[in-house]
Amino acid sequence: MLKTLAVMTSGGDSPGMNAAVRSVVRRAIHRGQTIYGIYDGYEGMVKGGDSIKPLQWNDVGGILQRGGTFLGTARSESFRTREGRRQAVLNMLNLNVEALIVVGGDGSLMGAHVLATEWQEHLENLRKDHPDAQWASSHAPLKVIGLPGSIDNDLHGTDMSIGADTALNHIVRALDNLSSTAASHQRTFVVETMGRHCGYLALSATVAGGASWVLVPEEELELRWHHKMVHSIEKAREIGRPHHMVIVAEGARHPDGLIISSDDVKRILTERLKLDVRVTVLGHVQRGGSPTAFDRIMATRLGSAAVDILLDEWDQEHRHMLGLIKNRVVATPLVEVVEKSQAVRVEVENGNYAKAQELRGGSFIRTLELVKTLTRIAPAQETVQDGAVAILTGGADAPGMNTAVSVAARCLLNQGTPVYGVRDGFVGLIEGRFDELDWDELVNWVNRPGSEIGTARVDFQEGDYAEIAATIRRHNIRGLIAIGGWGTYRKVAQLASRRDEFDAFSIPMILIPATVDNNLPCTQFTIGVDTALNNIVEATDKIRHTAGATRRAFIVEVMGRRCGFLALMSALATGAEKAFLPEKGVSLSELNEDVNILKKSFESGKRLVIFIRNEHSSQSYTTDFIKRLLEEESKGFYEVRTAILGHVQRGGLPTAFDRILASRLGANAAFHMLESLKNGWDDVHVLGLREKGIEKVPIEEAFKEMDVKNGRPKEQWFLDLLETADALAKPPMLHENPRPQITEE
């Protein structure tokens, strides 16, 4: 049985590494293990002594929101030698370390693999020199689990690596800022992003930030590639586009294999177009700062899973990396991760770009194709006037709706299909308020908050159906794309149910999930929820900063309607002590337990305790009620404060995740719409991000997957994380009931 583990961070640091270490340490302690932290990566492992220390519960408190890694990281030349690794093995044996968790890039994972492979050999040799050591009779191999830590997102075996989402958000925010100044001064910006061998950051930023041109390492450029770029920027200027930005991944290459620098691009544009070109090299800014909610949650999930796998599958050999693939924790052998990750570099070096792209995978290739459409100056085809597609946004607005409209509409226009934006959702559909959407205008919508075409809440009156049918006929609408929440789904279903009476409704209709509540069926995430989650996390971090001399309990009330996603995920991402969820309800006995937990927490020296409460977690035990209850019970020992975050949660520019999700769903909706139009289908579908990727599901199925009474899906994947959140937030002494059960209301 496993008793002692060690954890380290290695190679380039990335935001979220702290969250991974916190999760490993607390999960290990929660499961009765001794856990050592190795400082400064393999260098510390070789050095031993003070570089390897036992970590306690409180040692990893308050680090979730910090960038970098508190364990430090270093490159180690000594570990690259056999002698160095022998010393590292001795240091680990002396502390009885039986399993190691390494967070790092492919170099660090390779190091872990080499260490595990050589372990027995070093053990045999060391035994000869230390025959009396307490480990001398040991034969146990070292188990190693790697976690992907890299801002470049260049690792095989995971869809995202820890730090990539934070880096991408930094880039996207920089593009948002640059585009406003570029627009005011008619300037052209060349922006250099990280990614020596991997174009992920540059490509995703182009989709999410609306750049005019992008250069990535995996793409083969023509000999005169710059002609096309110059022509594109020149045209953009001629038609009065407010800004022009070229994104260069630092590893992009000329056809001869030499690196294209951002200064090369500047020189070309300045010489050919006599433009005022400014270069912005984002550099280490991309690596820094507080990690996003996504990075914190992913790192937390992977860290806990690593400890669980080591303990639960103790009889098996472990030389794996854990990654997130399609939102599931997946183990891939370290050798495969390292070989496949490095193979892309070799293919790029050798000029085998098609092979490099193939190794990156289908999603990378599809993004590259999408970028080709989105960076066009004008649609590829002239519009054909034999019917249009209408796009509307319904219900409450959600950040990212504009991105979805912009991408879906441009993908349709690119194929010659005219697109109308329906003003103010179903109200505009009834009243016939349609605007023909224009390519140039759409380009500027990708990063705008809210909904440019407008949303409104409305209930259909009986007479409305005839009005809508007339509008559809008048504008020759052949298909409808509706972006919104459950109200929007229901309205589309209502239209479809009246097809017998109104022929006009026999057109293909596609629904795209967009709501900050993440309460829709057939999708793991809705457009808008990541922005809301990050808004909550930022606000809660700020509340944490207020911790001072007085003891304080904070109840933060968050949105979500009757879905606990935002409450649970923000608790996981901020280290809040508790989340009140509508799925679980609130009971008096539980509140009683919370009173005891608060008392014990403050007695043990805590200054601030945060409870996150979903707005509908209980009808009677409201935020105010809980505040007053806790206040009464505190007997003056601590203060209680509330923070009701309200509409701040749905505001602001959409995050990179929301923009990317919106772009993928928008492009998919356009693709399915074109297919239905070509084949004369009148299917009604819901799109969503599912286990296998983006899928379309018939609307009847979507209704079956919905718990209509409670306004949330019947199956909610994130509830599996309830136990993790609880285990990591409360030290073992507070765990009277370690595995909370979900009970129906």
Catalytic residue list = 152
With a CB cutoff of 8 Å and minimum separation 6, the contacts of 287 are 12, 13, 14, 15, 67, 151, 163, 167, 194
List Cα–Cα distances, 478 to 510, 683, 689, in angstroms: 12, 12, 26
Least CB distance from residue 152 to ligand ADP, whole Å? Answer: 9
Measured from the CB atom, the residue of 103 and 510 that comes closer to ligand ADP is 103
For tokens 């080591």, name the residue: 310
Q: Is 726 exposed, middle or buried (0-12, 13-18, 19+ CB in 10 A)?
A: buried
Least CB distance from residue 688 to ligand ADP, whole Å? Answer: 34
Least CB distance from residue 13 to ligand ADP, whole Å? Answer: 9
Q: Is the dihedral of CA 671, 677, 679, 683 positive or negative?
A: positive
**Quick check: helix, strand or coil at residue 497?**
helix
Taking a C-beta distance cutoff of 8 angstroms, is the pair 432, 639 a contact?
no
3-state secondary structure string across 64-96: CCCCCCCCCCCCCCHHHCHHHHHHHHHHHHHCC
The DSSP 8-state label assigned to residue 142 in this structure reads P
Least CB distance from residue 34 to ligand ADP, whole Å? Answer: 25
The DSSP 8-state label assigned to residue 496 in this structure reads H
User: Rounded to 5 degrees, what angle do the CA atoms 14, 16, 21 make?
Assistant: 105
The DSSP 8-state label assigned to residue 463 in this structure reads T
In terms of DSSP bridges, do strands 143-148 and 188-193 run parallel, antiparallel, or are they unpaired? unpaired
Measured from the CB atom, the residue of 12 and 72 that comes closer to ligand ADP is 12
Element (H, E) at 197: none
Residues that bind ligand ADP (CB under 6 A): 10-12, 42, 75-76, 79-80, 104-108, 110-111, 114, 150
Measured from the CB atom, the residue of 116 and 573 that comes closer to ligand ADP is 116
Element (H, E) at 510: strand 509-513
Measured from the CB atom, the residue of 150 and 540 that comes closer to ligand ADP is 150
Least CB distance from residue 202 to ligand ADP, whole Å? Answer: 19
N-terminal to C-terminal alpha carbon distance within the chain: 40
- Exposed e or buried b per residue across 396-428, where buried means at least 16 C-beta atoms within 10 angstroms of its C-beta: bbbbbbbbbbbbbbbbbbbbebbbbbbbbbbbb
As a whole number of angstroms, the distance between CA 526 and CA 546 comes to 32
Measured from the CB atom, the residue of 104 and 479 that comes closer to ligand ADP is 104
Measured from the CB atom, the residue of 110 and 246 that comes closer to ligand ADP is 110
Least CB distance from residue 115 to ligand ADP, whole Å? Answer: 8
As a whole number of angstroms, the distance between CA 343 and CA 325 comes to 20
Residue nearest to ligand ADP (CB): 107
- From 517, 537, 528, 444, select the one nearest 166 (Cα to Cα): 537
Least CB distance from residue 72 to ligand ADP, whole Å? Answer: 13
Measured from the CB atom, the residue of 155 and 168 that comes closer to ligand ADP is 155
Q: Is the dihedral of CA 456, 461, 464, 465 positive or negative?
A: positive
Measured from the CB atom, the residue of 23 and 76 that comes closer to ligand ADP is 76
Least CB distance from residue 254 to ligand ADP, whole Å? Answer: 26
